[in-house]
Amino acid sequence: MVNDLPMYPIYQFVIIAFVVVGVVRLLKWKGIFSDCDQPVFDKIVTELAVPAVIFSIFATSDFSPDTLLPALLLFATLIVALIVAYVICRILRFGPKLTGTIVMLSAFGSTATMASPLLMEIYRAQPDVLATGLTIGTLGVAFPFFSLGVIIASWFGAKAAGEAVGIGQTLKEFLVTPIFISFIAGTAVTLVLTYFQLPGSDIFIDIFTHFFTIINLSLNLLIWIAIGLMIRPIGWKYFVPLFVLVVAIKLLLSPLLAIFFAASAGVPLVIQQALLLESAVPSGAIAAVLASRYGLDRSLAGWMVVGTYLISLVTIPLVFILTPV
């Protein structure tokens, strides 16, 4: 797959993202945007656009049994990254605000904004493989992010604000978020359509497939506007060591772990390739917006996303060269 890995779409995604961020920074410099707009875009993304996309994803996905093992392996990779990032932050005695930011950006990648479009580009002639790859990403990354990721961001955000934090209260708050409600609704719809074979379900799925496409395009624009508003001046002596840590975990350790787990489990080669791509993408832009929404270090999160997108132009082809897939 190394020879077939299309770098043009990767360059295209990164350039478009940087153009939007640059335009937002220009508009902010002109006074059209201000710091007061940041929370508004955070809420639009996390309370409106993301829930709509979650519902569409889970309402139209086909969760076949052959995707469960690869998805579990991808989830295991994510959990290892979470633990490694958290342990390092604890050793270095980072505060909850910084720890939460590092953990979120080290573990959760750009599945929706980069991995899925790349899978569509690579496997457009293999629809079965494409569907499997997208489902693996949904189960292995999207589901944990929209559940565990929200809980992590909420937990560390509350601790950073000096609030009393308890597992019960955190879970209670999570259960009433639009993200969780849309996940439950989408999952319920896909189960009903899959197991009861309702008349007209094909039309329903077709409508929501187009709906997802439209909302997803809008979501990407909203996310990059939010990232552009997050970025503020930051000291390089402070940023660089933290950035190296996130790059080492997200862009190097995660893909190598994913391919090791997949090869050890005897996963077919073509699925190993999809897993490698899912785990090699840069830090999640939605993860940064979620971190900002819950009071973590928004400027650091924004710079991490921009930096990992840039570095991924080197690391994505590098991990494919270094791994036997």
Q: Of the given ranges (13-17, 149-153, 259-263, 293-297), which has the lowest mean pLDDT?
A: 13-17
Domain spans in the chain, listed from the N-terminal domain onward: 7-322
For residue 2, what pLDDT band results from cuts at 50, 70 and 90? very low
pLDDT tens across 105-146, in order?
A: 999 998 877 887 788 777 777 777 777 887 888 888 888 888
The answer on pLDDT for 251 being more than 70 is yes
- Cα distances (angstroms) measured from residue 42 to each of 158, 160, 211, 295: 17, 18, 22, 11
The answer on pLDDT for 5 being more than 80 is no
For residue 89, what pLDDT band results from cuts at 50, 70 and 90? very high
Q: In terms of DSSP H, where are the helices of 30-67? A: 37-44, 50-60
- CB of 77 closer than 8 Å to CB of 279: yes
For residue 43, what pLDDT band results from cuts at 50, 70 and 90? confident
- Cα distances (angstroms) measured from residue 222 to each of 44, 178, 229, 285, 290: 8, 17, 11, 10, 13
7-322 to CATH, choices 3.40.50.620, 1.20.1530.20, 3.40.720.10, 3.40.50.10330: 1.20.1530.20
The answer on pLDDT for 311 being more than 80 is yes
CA atoms lying within 13 Å on the CB side of residue 180: 13
pLDDT tens across 162-178, in order?
A: 876 666 666 666 666 77
* Most confident segment among 137-141, 188-192, 210-214: 137-141
CA atoms lying within 13 Å on the CB side of residue 309: 28
| pLDDT score for 3 | 47
The answer on pLDDT for 209 being more than 60 is no
Which two structure tokens, joined as six digits, stand for 66?
Answer: 């052959």
pLDDT tens across 45-82, in order?
A: 777 777 766 666 665 555 666 778 889 999 999 999 99
Average pLDDT rounded to a whole number, residues 5-15: 75
Average pLDDT, the chain: 82
Residue 174 CB neighbours (<10 A): 16
Which two structure tokens, joined as six digits, stand for 173?
Answer: 């708050």
For residue 187, what pLDDT band results from cuts at 50, 70 and 90? low
For residue 260, what pLDDT band results from cuts at 50, 70 and 90? very high
| pLDDT score for 134 | 79
CA-to-CA distance for 187 and 306, rounded, in angstroms? 32
The answer on pLDDT for 104 being more than 80 is yes
Tell me 250's DSSP state.
I
The answer on pLDDT for 6 being more than 80 is no
